[in-house]
Amino acid sequence: MRGGRARLRTRAETGNITQRKKGTHDMGYTVAVLGATGAVGREILNILAEREFPADAVYALASGRSHGKRVTYGEDSELTIQDVGEFDFRGVDIVLSSPGSKVSAEYAPKAAEAGAVVIDNTSHFRMEPDVPLIVPEVNPGALAGYTKRGIVANPNCSTIQMVLALKPLHELATIRRVVVSTYQATSGSGKAAMDELFNQTRGIYMNEPAQPQEYPKQIAFNAIPHIDSFMDDGSTKEEWKMVHETRKILDPDVRVAPTCVRIATFIGHGESLNVEFEDEIDETSAADALREFPGISVVDHREDGGYVTPYECAGEDAVFISRLRRDPTVDNGLAFWCVSDNLRKGAALNTVQIAELLVEQHLR
């Protein structure tokens, strides 16, 4: 293992681990990753290893269909998938959960009741008032609220990169209103959606008709202005998430007008933002504030190729800001382009960063 860490123990080697008191972790924490066979779950395992999270035991959990399969953990280790339905959460300190809302709704409370802190990547708990919704760089102080339920929510992927970009600007000049259009990759819908894009693209070159299954229309060579289900007011649930999650994380007075679009890419979400401020703001001070903020990289050259695309951000941890410029249609306005790897900062990385903050500030 990297860094000379001890080989991870398995449940069979340790027997039933009894819950240890907080502050007695001489070697590390016991971590369970729920939804370990999914794209986000696999990325969580990779990032735990990459960042050398202080774990002396990691368990990979999924449904009974995946029991006994193997998933990678780091460069030279594998974990055996265990059936979450048979798993004993006693003795687990932290659960990183990304199995889908229905599964999380069932097992997150069970894990919390057993003494674990659950960091949930699904939408199920996000808007519950007694569950903190956390982007560590933006609202770390809200994490203290985890003690109410033993559950912490990870925001929606499109929300995470947006509020990270907005936070330093909000501190600088107070945001009044945000108009945002998203360009979201198929990985946000899961592996089956990525496969659909691949198969449709290949089929078109072979003169085969596209057969949409995961999406309501052909995704290959297309853009679909529809993510999640439609609501009564004509918006979609994805757009609703961006509005209300931003208010919960950043500021309840910030108004957000989103249009969320699925595009024919595999990884990396793009967002085009027009932001109106209460106070005067200029491009230079905005760029300086963004550059100094953790987790943000400003790549903005006013020349051909002087910006970052979704394809280029895949595998990267940062939220990239480009095309920063004045919006002349309002008194105090800026426009910019924002991209991020939706599987990393938009999901798995943010989840692990919450766990790191939890360990650093609360579980010692």
Q: What is the DSSP string of 198-266?
A: HHHHHHHHTTPPP--SSSSS--TT-EES--S-B-TTS-BHHHHHHHHHHHHHT-TT-EEEEEEEEES-S
Task: Identify the pLDDT of residue 6.
Answer: 32
Task: Identify the pLDDT of residue 94.
Answer: 98
Rounded distance, CA 165 to CA 295, Å? 9
Task: Identify the pLDDT of residue 8.
Answer: 36
3-class SS of residue 128? coil
How are beta strands 255-263 and 296-298 bridged, if at all?
A: unpaired
Active site residues: 157, 269
Task: Identify the pLDDT of residue 100.
Answer: 87
Task: Identify the pLDDT of residue 5.
Answer: 30
**Residues within the annotated binding site for phosphate?**
126
CA distances from 5 to 19, 77, 285, 320, 360 (A): 22, 12, 44, 33, 19
**Residues within the annotated binding site?**
37-40, 65-66, 126, 184, 187-188, 209, 262, 342
Do residues 250 and 242 touch, judged by C-beta distance below 8 A? no
User: How confident is the prediction along the chain (364 residues), in pLDDT tens digits per residue?
Assistant: 233 333 333 333 322 222 333 334 445 899 999 999 999 999 999 999 999 999 999 999 999 899 999 999 988 889 999 999 999 999 999 999 999 899 999 999 999 999 999 999 999 999 999 999 999 999 999 999 999 999 999 999 999 999 999 999 999 999 999 999 999 999 999 999 999 999 999 999 999 999 999 999 999 999 999 999 999 999 999 999 999 999 999 999 999 999 999 999 999 999 999 999 999 999 999 999 999 999 999 999 999 999 999 999 999 999 999 999 999 999 999 999 999 999 999 999 999 999 999 999 988 7
Task: Identify the pLDDT of residue 27.
Answer: 56
Delineate the domains of the chain, giving CATH numbers in brackets: 2-124 (3.40.50.720), 158-342 (3.30.360.10)
Both tokens of residue 294? 């953790």
**Residues within the annotated binding site for substrate?**
184, 262
